[in-house]
Amino acid sequence: MSALHARAVAHESEEMKLVFPNGEHGQVLLSAGVNRIGTAAEGAVVLSGHALNPLHCEIHVTGTGANLQVPQGGGPVAVNGKPVEHIMALRSGDQIDIGAVVATFAPLEPERGTAAPDVARHADEDTGATRVRAALPRFVLRGISGAVADRAFPVGGPVVIGRAPECDITLPDDEISRRHALVKPVGDGLSVEDLDSSNGTYINDRRVQHGFLSPGDALRLDAVSFLLVAPELDIPPDAARGTRIDAAPVARGAARRWVPIMLVAAVALAIALFALLPG
């Protein structure tokens, strides 16, 4: 069973970067989403070396921090000397050994005397770092009930959902286990794994230990529900398969629309009857 290493996920408010102290690569700003590292030309960080694979590892940046993942076919990676078998949370200052290449995970610090971060971002000065184009997440979990209603959570890599503050999606609900479920992109949807939660994980109201979530499916953790959507297939929340839709708001909206029409009809009828009265 894959699981996040028992370290607190970094909650970094500033932008993060990779610094290569031995000069194998210039420093690279990490963008939200997936940052692929290896010898493949399409990666965010392209390295060379006999001990490196085309897709050696990935750094997933989310709204709550960053995780380093070794995908299938990846190569040996260590964080602060500890080998990473699958996933490990990153913190500012961590040393990452990518094969024989050493990198440091560090915050981007504005130059002294420059404008505020938002202004400096558009200034002419070159910080020396290469900005990587942000990779849009293929999938988004949209909250449709409970504490996550009307909120959206991009899923660009493995995401742990639970009550613990170090989870990627934290749900402040006593009925949610500290580490309730793990979701991650696989093919055309998300694989779902229940992390031995007390109250279970459900896909379209069917309890699962391991399952697959397709766009349009509903994921429920006790009273908290999400709808899986894809950026190119934006599905409204009431289209979720297996979810119950409350028709009362629709009926109330329809009634409000008919009120002015009925009033106009009543006035017209009164005028017609008045015209027919004998003078």
pLDDT, tens digit (0-9, with 9 covering 90-100), for 227-269:
998 865 544 444 444 443 333 333 444 444 555 556 556 656 6
Radius of gyration of the chain (CA): 26
Q: What is the pLDDT of residue 152?
A: 83
Share of the chain above pLDDT 90, in %: 30
In this prediction, residue 125 carries a pLDDT of 54
- The pLDDT, as a whole number, for residue 183 is 93
Q: Tell the residue number behind the tokens 């979720």, with chain if given.
A: 240
Number of residues that this document lists for the chain: 279
**pLDDT tier, 161 (very low <50, low <70, confident <90, very high otherwise):** very high
pLDDT at 55: 92
Query: What does the pLDDT average to over 86-106?
Result: 89
Domains of the chain, start order: 16-107 (2.60.200.20), 139-229 (2.60.200.20)
**35 vs 13, residue with greater confidence:** 35
pLDDT digits 0-9 by tens, 114-125: 444 444 444 445
CA distances from 215 to 230, 238, 246 (A): 6, 13, 21
CB 129 within 8 A of CB 27: yes
What residue type is 156 in one-letter code? G
Q: Could you tell me how far CA 61 lies from the centroid of its own chain?
A: 9
pLDDT score recorded for residue 24 = 80
pLDDT band per the 50, 70, 90 thresholds, residue 16 = confident
Mapped onto helix, strand or coil, the DSSP state of residue 138 is coil
Q: What is the mean pLDDT of residues 59-65?
A: 82
For residue 198, the tally of other CB atoms under 10 A from its CB is: 10
The DSSP call for residue 199 is S
